[in-house]
A and B are shown apart, each in its own frame.
Chain A
Amino acid sequence: MEAFGLLLHGFTVLLTGKTLLLMMVGLVLGIFVGVLPGLGGPNGVAILLPLTFTMDPTSAIVMLSCIYWGALFGGAITSILFNIPGEAWSVATTFDGYPMAQQGQAAEALTAAFTSSFIGSLCAVLLITFLAPMISSFALRFGPPEFFAVYLLTFCSFVGLGREAKHKTIISMALGLLLTGIGMDTVSGQLRMTFGSTDLLRGVNFLVAVIGLFGISEILLTMEERLALRGHAAGISLRVILKVWKDLPKYWVTLLRSSFIGCWLGITPGGAIAASFMGYNLAKRFSKDPDSFGKGRIEGVFAPETAAHASGTAALLPMLALGIPGSGTAAILLGGLMVWGLNPGPLLFVEHKDFVWGLIASMYLGNVVGLVLVLSTVPIFASILRVPFAAIAPMIVVSCAIGAYAIQNAMFDIWLMLLFGVVGYVFKKISIPLAPFTLALVLGNRAEDAFRQSMIGAGGDMGVFWSNGLVGSITTLALALLFWPVIDKAFVRVGQILRPAKA
């Protein structure tokens, strides 16, 4: 019950006029970003990050996480009204959401989407509230070898479990890790990979890279498409909301199942997309009438939205407790934390209690406020899409430039941002995933430090990563995940050999 008391304290930190105002601003900006074509959670957070540089850490993170919630809510609006998924994880929402809108049930579909997002996030936040303190107090016993093992586990699970071609994930990750090595070496003070350039001395800033990769490249990608759109406008009345909510208990199995899938996949990296599809497919499989899915069934909106949001929120759990982001957006939030000199990880729960519990409380409050806000303002946000992209694109470019420059007041960073924009554009088109790159950029230095510290401590003996039960099992698990596709194949083959023998 200690968590409960601390949470209440978190609410008192939060309930000031200024924080609540920032929360609203964050949510509105987030929904705005979520609705705009080609922009979503990670881009929104990356572009708007500089706004928060002059705030105190608690206000800043509250605003940033609200941008994140807002973007999650906003993605559903375009999926349902325009059949344009704002994010990859909204794709499953369009399957039934858009048919509902075509049948004149846009309001119902939107209410269902927002409500289920809220339920999904709430489940994940509950999980964070009770699990994060436990994990972090356990992780306080970690030394450098354990931390390196956990980082290794994160990297390996991306390679082993990702859907992209393995070598492309490895390229993306190795490149990210290499870039973090540029500049002054923190252990020996030597210069690495600077080639005599004074600008490279500072290293490649994580946020500059992220703004280029997610902001500029997204503009380039969006411009390739035909940007004309056609969609339904919808207003939500209180009667519709109550009608949908009255039916809600009927779908409790779907909601619970999707929340569970979401929480589980959210903690493992890169889960939101998989979670939304899995939630949808399972709801379809367990339904008595699977053929009606895809033709405008409200359950087909509930299932993926709940799962996607549960997973988007649960991705913050490993970030808070261990300092390892579970998604691209979480990685950017983590980068934000580091700008304010907060070192995410288990110590955060001890050293910055106010901050952590303020953040967790803001997840509760942000979702409630977000739900009310989004239900009442859908028509306004849907009409944002009337603004032509030719007006929005230059504004996003300017915001990106402001963001990249503000971090270190360096013109060099602007050019770096542009370079990363092109890199992101090419990588996305030849399907080199960007999430491992982001993760590597944010964790690179710490992974290297942990590795070298454990090497120094053990006198260069790799055996340190198997020196006790805990670190040994994490390292073994990491290697098992890395070679998971091979192991999986071997299992199947063994099964094939054994089966005829039994028969």
Chain B
Amino acid sequence: MATPDIEIVVEDPTAPEADSPSVATTRTVDVVTSLLLLALACVLGFDNWRTGMSWDSSGPQAGYFPFYLCVILGGASLYGIAVTLRDRTEAAETFVTRAQLRRVMQVFVPTLLFCLAMQFLGLYVASFLLTAGFMRLVGRIALWKSLLTAFIFTAAMFITFDIAFDVIMPKGPLEAAFGY
């Protein structure tokens, strides 16, 4: 049976270009991450050593288990650094291209701003701003569609969580004006 093929086509107007230059190689990021993990292991390990990582009359002290985990984490990170530095074949692999990074930032920065706005304006206003702004600026969707979608979505969230399920979210001046 041949179904008539109605194709579904979705366009992506702000897609990253394929030939964008590389910002960092996987190898570099690998080493940097391992160094950060090593630093974390040292800091946490020191704290656990201070808490007590040996034995007393009641058995292992509070820092015992985590201290040895720090040793394992640090050891594995060191090993990772050594392996990556020795192995040169990975060098050419791209971690992220400039165009990709720009796109990732396009979603990360608004998310960051959303989290900030949430503290002052409350979750629902921030959610409206995020949805409408993102659709308009990143998706290049018509303004009225963006505003309408954002409003419906935010209202649906408010009804679902605050009214139907009693999950209380942070609120700001707008909700206060309406008496919530």
Contact = CB atoms under 8 A, between A and B. Distances in A.
A414 B118 contact: yes
A161 B18 CA distance: 35
Nearest to B80: A167
Interface string A76-116: 00000110000000000000000000001111100000000
A452 B169 contact: no
B138 A390 contact: yes
B10 A181 contact: no
Interface residues of A, number: 84
Interface in B3-31: 3, 5-12, 15-16, 18, 26, 29-30
Contact of A171 (B5, B37, B62): B37
B115 A171 contact: no
Interface string A355-396: 000000000000000000000000000110110111101110
Q: Which of A108, A177, A430 has the most CB of B within 10 A?
A: A430
A187 B95 contact: no
Contact of B141 (A390, A427, A448): A390
Contact of B65 (A421, A425, A427, A452): A452
A48 to B, nearest CB: 11
A50 B100 contact: no
A383 B8 CA distance: 7
A385 B10 contact: yes
B153 interface: yes
Contacts of B51: 190-192
B123 to A, nearest CB: 7
A216 B165 contact: no
B8 A386 contact: yes
Contacts of B16: 224, 226
Contacts of A456: 58-60
A104 B59 contact: no
B177 interface: no
A446 to B, nearest CB: 12
**A50, A415, A425, A429 — most chain B CB neighbours (10 Å):** A429
B contact patch SS: helix
A433 to B, nearest CB: 13
B130 A455 contact: no
Contact of B130 (A81, A82, A394, A448): A394
Interface in A447-480: 448, 451-452, 455-456, 460
Interface in B135-171: 135, 138-141, 149-150, 153, 157, 160-161, 165-170
Interface of B: 1-3, 5-12, 15-16, 18, 26, 29-30, 33-34, 37, 40, 44, 47-48, 51-52, 55, 58-66, 69-70, 72-73, 76-77, 79-80, 83, 95-96, 100, 103-104, 106-108, 110-112, 114-115, 118-119, 123, 127, 130-131, 134-135, 138-141, 149-150, 153, 157, 160-161, 165-170
Q: What are the 3 tightest A-B residue pairs by CB atom distance, in nearest-first order?
A: A390-B139, A456-B59, A104-B2
24 contacts: A82-B8, A167-B79, A171-B34, A171-B73, A174-B72, A177-B66, A192-B66, A219-B111, A226-B15, A227-B12, A229-B8, A232-B5, A232-B8, A239-B1, A240-B1, A382-B8, A388-B11, A393-B134, A395-B153, A406-B161, A421-B111, A430-B33, A452-B64, A456-B59
Interface of A: 50-51, 53-54, 81-82, 104-108, 165, 167-168, 170-171, 174-175, 177-178, 181, 185, 187-188, 190-193, 195, 216, 219-220, 223-224, 226-235, 237, 239-240, 382-383, 385-386, 388-391, 393-395, 397-399, 401-402, 405-406, 409, 411, 414-415, 418, 421-422, 425-427, 429-430, 432, 448, 451-452, 455-456, 460
